Structure 1
Amino acid sequence: MYAMERQQGIERILADDGRVSVVDLAHRFDVTTETIRRDLAALEETGSLVRVHGGAVAKDDSTNESSVLERIQQHGPAKRAIADRALAALGPEFHGSVFIDAGTTAAAVAEGLSARAATAPQGYPSTNGSRARVEAVTHSLTIAPVLAVAQDISLTVIGGRIRGVTAAAVGAETVAVIGRLRPDVAFIGTNGISAGFGLSTPDPEEASVKAAIVRAARRVIVVADSSKHDRELLVSFASLSDIDVLVTDAEPPADLATALADADVEVWIA
């Protein structure tokens, strides 16, 4: 295979997965790791990617953001696995409040929570034997319908100006309402997570809402597939020390893993 064909193949894999590994590419194309590193260097020069430790990630416009309809088609199995693993944090006898952020991975959490309620004919049993309920809160117009029809889930939807690209409420009123809440657990999505910049997103108003959720919750669980690792978007909304758990589908790169450990963040691999 010629170098150009291999590099085109790398670009296709990167478009699908958001991240590539030198070792994986070397195995896939049956070449040495040094050959792959030269390919990545060439692609970086053309602006196709950004090299990181052990591989490369897609080059970002720090303000670019796919719509929720586009993102719902990406990394579906990984998002469902992440959601299932994240919901284990609630435990079989959970009786309390959850805030579910906007985003497609958070939507998978909402779907899992709804399905979990539907398969519990007695509701979620509490330790005192009463019929327990989950108080759910969201500001997402795509997540609200999933939770609204769920058995044993009481739903509060926070309003505000709706951002079309994410179908989520934003603005000062939204932030103010969130500030008056104290959910037991918040499931937060992010567009990027890195050692130096923390959690980030392209839009300042989305960042303000996410920051408010992080401040409000007693426990913060970030749900993010591995394409978000080592990405830095325009606005940071939380530091690594602000979160309790990261649920993802692959081990974070070494630098990020070290920073998460230093911040005392639990990393759960789905």
Structure 2
Amino acid sequence: MYAAERQQLLAERLQADGRLSVVDLAEELSVSSETIRRDLAVLERDGLAQRVHGGAVASRALTILEPGLAQRTTTNADQKERIARAAADLLPAENGSIVLDAGTTISHLVDQIPLDHPLTVITHAIPIAAKLTAIPSVNLHVLGGRVRGVTAAAVGQTMVDSLAGLHVDVCFLATNAATPEHGLSTPDAEEAAAKRALVSCARMVVVLADSSKFSGEHVFSFASYDDIDVFVTDDGISADDVAALEAHKVKVVVT
């Protein structure tokens, strides 16, 4: 079991049971107690747990469980692949520049970048940066900061400040939710600040999100519909949601 999968399991168990035991989990998962303590440290850092002697209890501030990478990778995978293929048509011409947000749909987009298409690519997402290293035509720049365990993306003031002097052709952006009233939103304040900085440094903003993202909203908004140029989604989007985007002059691409 990968660390991200194990941490997701621990987060779900914590939400269901309210407490976790290091000794019991180490025995159940056949890992060391130190490994479980590191996992719990990640959950505590992301506001999902409070460590106590021998284990952890659920954070009182926990109101929603943000899915981890392992869960999000397998959710709506077909739709995400179609969205990524459509979004690839919006890549800039040779020698253009893009900034890539964290997210599993964005990861699918990386698979669509031609091996012979020179691009400058900037990202704060560790798994996406790792995939980009295999594309010889990409001039890769990785943004630093504190890495969140849930998204494997760098966040914090260091990351935000590093975008201040940049101006790229296209920002490919992910979101946890989208509504006309609250715009694009996410459960984490630092993640929202990072996404807000990504939006501000691009000439064109392209959102990649499957239609399930229109079902609610999260606490921290990082962009309004007016900040978006193109929204690429699947055919599960409702006519009302299309109309709401188009009312803000957003081009909607349905796959």
Q: Report the TM-score range of the alignment, normalised by the length of the smaller protein.
A: 0.7 to 0.9
Tell me what 2:208 maps to. 223
Whether 2:130 is the aligned partner of 1:145: answer: yes
The more displaced of 103-112 and 153-162 is: 103-112
Tell me what 1:87 maps to. 88
Structure 1 SS opposite 2:74: coil
Q: Deviations over 1:170-229 (max 9, x none)?
A: 000100111221111010000001111110011000000000101111100000001101
Tell me what 1:265 maps to. 250
Q: Deviations over 1:98-133 (max 9, x none)?
A: 1110011111111221xx22xxxxx33xxxxxxxx2
Runs of 4+ more than 3 Å apart: none
Q: Percent identity at matched positions?
A: 41
Mapping of 1:65-104 within 5 angstroms? 65-90=66-91, 93-104=93-104
Q: Is contact 1:100-1:110 (8 Å) kept? A: no
Tell me what 1:110 maps to. 110
1:254 deviation in Å?
A: 3.6
1:95 deviation in Å?
A: 2.7
Structure 1 SS opposite 2:112: helix
Q: Using CA pairs under 8 Å that are at least 6 residues apart, name the structure with larger relative contact order, 1 or 2.
A: 1
Structure 2 SS opposite 1:112: coil
Aligned residues, how many?
A: 194
- Distance across 1 between alignment mates of 2:193 and 2:222: 7
AA of the residue aligned to 1:76: A
CA RMSD across the alignment: 1.5
- Distance across 2 between alignment mates of 1:62 and 1:253: 27
- Distance across 1 between alignment mates of 2:223 and 2:63: 16
Tell me what 1:190 maps to. 175
Tell me what 1:256 maps to. 241
Mind listing any 5+ residue stretches in structure 2 that lack a counterpart?
1-61
Q: Is contact 1:97-1:136 (8 Å) kept? A: yes
- Please report the TM-score for the alignment, with normalisation by the length of structure 2: 0.73
1:73 deviation in Å?
A: 1.0
Q: Is contact 1:63-1:203 (8 Å) kept? A: no
Mapping of 1:1-270 within 5 angstroms? 63-90=64-91, 93-113=93-113, 116-117=114-115, 123-124=116-117, 133-250=118-235, 252-270=237-255
Structure 2 SS opposite 1:179: coil
